Amino acid sequence: MSFDIDVAIVGAGVAGLSAAAALRAAGRRPVLFEALPRIGGRAFTDHPAALGGAPFDLGASWLHAADRNPLAPLARAAGIGLRATEGSWTRRIMLDGWAATEAELAAYQATSERFERLARARAAAGPDASVAEAVAGLRGDPWLPLVETWQATLIAAADPREFSVQDWHLNELTGGNLAVAGGVGAMVARVLAPPPATLHLATPVRHVAWDRPGGGVAITTGAGTHSAGACIVTVSTGVLRAGGIGFTPALPEAARAALDGLPMGLLSKLGIAAGPTPLLPAGTSLYHRVADAGERAMFFSRPLGQDHIVSFFGGRAAWALAAAGPAATEAFARAELARLLGGAPPLGPAVLSDWGTNPAFLGAYAYARPGCMAARAAMAAPIGAGLVIAGEAWCMDGLAGTVGGAFLSGARAAGLVQRKDGFTGA
């Protein structure tokens, strides 16, 4: 049977671009359909006027797990500068108006280590539990909510009460972080750029029919319907859970159950122009000790020597602010910074991410609910004769939620298309 398209790929984020590159290398002819007028998805370096045109990663900004991140060698081969971030940040934690002393920072470090020991032990021994339940023995330690903020709310974008400790353990980002010259999004757009003739931008896919009598898949966009020998769908679990793409027949029950187990967390970023005032030394991370995980924002001053401050907030607080709107979010971050610095600093305009409300994403990245870690493996095989689901959420290599994980998942999806009998294409 012949098809209009050999392999259709829905989404030109890292997973879709990685799948396309692997298929091209194998001699296949993939075609990408992307809803937005740009590639990269959640890896996106903007150059906003608010920050004087400086590169600003609205999504991914580091290559985590440097020693096993598949994008690091690609960036190096393209001559893109990578810099290890270990030791390059100075931490300043504020407690009721004063900066934590060395002894207090040592107490924080000790709580972090106890947290890791307890959480790893529970993850290994099972049964699965929430991160909060796994470390319940530390409740009452004044540093625990801040450790949970880092380990769950910021790194996994998830509330520790709703996040699987086994998933936390599987995806611990050990091995160092790399900063990327010019931004992660710009690097992705450069090293994974597909041939322009194989890319349809601003072309959202509305429908995928995957169980056709003659085999293959039919995908429908605003411009019409195309048949394809196979289809790799790489949109976020947020888009799939919200029904952003219709499927005929509906996705199998096991796939829908897996989606229930992998909701999207939210991490939001606000970049604020710092101007010439040396407000904080470059490379300072500044935040409050918190009473409840994720309730406050965290700030990085002048990353990569740039003239701006980046504010991060995650989990429930980030969702509440996304619902309240950009003005409320910006006001919150500026008020937080003023509290941290003991007075409103003279700052310039700001730029805010919209991952929680943008219908192309509906969150930052997926986390597993307690008991649902196995959901990440639910898409390890094709659905029907021609449909494969990929993306950061479905990475089983310990890098779920990251650009490295999205890359590996896309490559795996390409491998499934290559191996599957009948995925012969046009």
Q: CA angle, 107 as apex, 104 and 109 as ends, to 5°?
A: 115
Tokens 């935040």, located at residue: 287
Q: Which of 5, 8, 9, 12 binds ligand FAD (CB under 6 A)?
A: 12
Q: Nearest 5°: phi and psi at 266?
A: -130, 130
Q: Does 265 engage in binding with ligand FAD (CB under 6 A)?
A: no
Stretch that binds ligand FAD, among 88-96, 230-238, 279-287, 294-302 (CB under 6 A): 230-238
Cα(100)–Cα(104) distance, rounded to whole angstroms? 6
Q: Which is nearer to ligand FAD, 111 or 315 (CB)?
A: 315
Q: Nearest 5°: phi and psi at 315?
A: 65, -145
**Residue 66 C-beta: closest distance to ligand FAD, Å:** 11
> What are the helix (H) ranges across 89-231?
102-125, 131-134, 144-148, 165-170, 184-191
Q: Which is nearer to ligand FAD, 56 or 143 (CB)?
A: 56
- Cβ partners under 8 Å of residue 313, min gap 6: 267, 268, 294, 296, 297, 298, 321, 332, 333
Q: Does 236 engage in binding with ligand FAD (CB under 6 A)?
A: yes
Q: Does 167 engage in binding with ligand FAD (CB under 6 A)?
A: no
Q: Nearest 5°: phi and psi at 224?
A: 135, -175
Taken in order 188, 171, 133, 102, the sign of the CA dihedral is negative
Are 221 and 208 within 8 A, CB to CB?
Answer: no
Q: Which is nearer to ligand FAD, 243 or 346 (CB)?
A: 243
Q: Which of 247, 402, 411, 416 binds ligand FAD (CB under 6 A)?
A: 402
- How many residues bind ligand FAD (CB under 6 A)? The answer is 42
Stretch that binds ligand FAD, among 53-61, 86-94, 161-169, 367-375 (CB under 6 A): 53-61
Q: Which of 179, 192, 245, 347 binds ligand FAD (CB under 6 A)?
A: 245
Q: Which is nearer to ligand FAD, 365 or 423 (CB)?
A: 365
Stretch that binds ligand FAD, among 117-125, 144-152, 342-350, 395-403 (CB under 6 A): 395-403
Site string for ligand FAD, 14-33 (x = CB under 6 A): xxx----------------x
Helix (H), strand (E), coil (C) string for 199-245: EECCCCEEEEECCCCCCCEEEEECCEEEEEEEEEECCCHHHHHCCCC
Could you say which residues in the range 54-73 bind ligand FAD, by CB under 6 A? 59-62, 64
Q: Does 403 engage in binding with ligand FAD (CB under 6 A)?
A: yes
Could you say which residues in the range 272-311 bind ligand FAD, by CB under 6 A? none
Q: Which is nearer to ligand FAD, 153 or 402 (CB)?
A: 402
Taken in order 114, 117, 120, 124, the sign of the CA dihedral is negative
Taken in order 210, 211, 212, 216, the sign of the CA dihedral is positive
**Residue 216 C-beta: closest distance to ligand FAD, Å:** 18
Stretch that binds ligand FAD, among 45-53, 257-265, 376-384, 397-405 (CB under 6 A): 397-405
CA dist 169 to 102, 117, 282, 329, 367, Å? 29, 11, 32, 31, 12
Q: CA angle, 341 as apex, 337 and 347 as ends, to 5°?
A: 55
Q: Does 355 engage in binding with ligand FAD (CB under 6 A)?
A: yes
Q: How many CA atoms lie within 13 A of 197 on its CB side?
A: 2
Site string for ligand FAD, 360-379 (x = CB under 6 A): xx--xx--------------
**Residue 277 C-beta: closest distance to ligand FAD, Å:** 26
Q: Does 239 engage in binding with ligand FAD (CB under 6 A)?
A: yes
Q: Which is nearer to ligand FAD, 60 or 417 (CB)?
A: 60
Are 144 and 152 within 8 A, CB to CB?
Answer: no
Q: Does 11 engage in binding with ligand FAD (CB under 6 A)?
A: yes
Q: Which of 7, 22, 36, 74 binds ligand FAD (CB under 6 A)?
A: 36
Are 28 and 195 within 8 A, CB to CB?
Answer: no
Tokens of 378: 């639910």
Q: Which is nearer to ligand FAD, 111 or 236 (CB)?
A: 236
Q: Does 205 engage in binding with ligand FAD (CB under 6 A)?
A: yes
Q: Does 74 engage in binding with ligand FAD (CB under 6 A)?
A: no
- Interface contacts to ligand FAD, rule CB under 6 A: 10-16, 33-36, 41-43, 59-62, 64, 204-205, 234-236, 239, 244-245, 267, 269, 353, 355, 360-361, 364-365, 391-392, 401-404, 406
